[in-house]
């Protein structure tokens, strides 16, 4: 009987070591964790162009949406679109900002993402062909 318990303990210990080794291998391979979904706040009601504030940090969604709607109103005039950005590059498909600030928010394009930021606060602005479109 004593031999049976010894073999059983050895088998359990071996299984535990194998599981630990498998977990360590998964950790070392950098198995991807589930990607966090962006927090998207629809700023326009009823929706027309899909003006959205995405992942606001350091600012409430309501505050972010207020400036997004104001940007939408500004861009409703074609002359203001030309003030904000121009399309350059091969075929004119690369947006380049001409303005670097809007209503106290700094503006930047990063990998085609339109970002508004100020110290301690930021959010991305998206929508259907909004706020820039060089397609």
Domains in the chain: boundaries: 1-34, 40-126
Structure pTM? 0.71
Are 94 and 87 in contact by the 8 Å Cβ rule? The answer is: yes
pLDDT at site 133: 92
Q: Is 20 helix (H, G, I), strand (E, B) or coil?
A: helix
Residues with Cβ within 8 Å of residue 49, at least 6 apart in sequence: 72, 127, 128, 129, 130
pLDDT at site 28: 41
The pLDDT tens digits of the residues spanning 2-59 come to: 544 444 344 334 434 343 343 344 344 444 556 789 999 999 887 777 899 999 999 9
Distance CA 135, CA 124 (A): 19
116 pLDDT higher than 50? yes
Q: Is 128 helix (H, G, I), strand (E, B) or coil?
A: coil
The pLDDT tens digits of the residues spanning 43-66 come to: 988 777 789 999 999 999 999 999
Can you tell me the mean pLDDT for 78-99? 95
pLDDT at site 59: 98
Can you tell me the mean pLDDT for 111-126? 96
pLDDT at site 21: 40
Q: Is 102 exposed, middle or buried (0-12, 13-18, 19+ CB in 10 A)?
A: middle
């Amino acid at each position: 009987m004593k031999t049976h318990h010894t073999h059983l303990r050895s088998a359990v210990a071996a299984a535990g070591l194998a599981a630990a080794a498998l977990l360590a291998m998964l950790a070392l391979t950098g198995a991807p964790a589930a990607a966090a979904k962006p927090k998207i706040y629809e700023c326009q009601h009823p929706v027309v162009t899909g003006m959205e504030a995405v992942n606001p940090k350091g600012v409430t969604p309501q505050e972010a949406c207020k400036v997004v709607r104001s940007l939408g109103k500004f861009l409703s005039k074609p002359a203001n679109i030309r003030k904000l950005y121009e399309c350059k590059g091969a075929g004119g498909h690369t947006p380049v900002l001409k303005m670097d600030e809007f209503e106290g928010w700094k503006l930047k394009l990063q990998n085609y993402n339109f970002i508004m930021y100020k110290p301690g606060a930021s959010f991305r602005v998206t929508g259907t062909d909004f706020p820039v479109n060089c397609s």
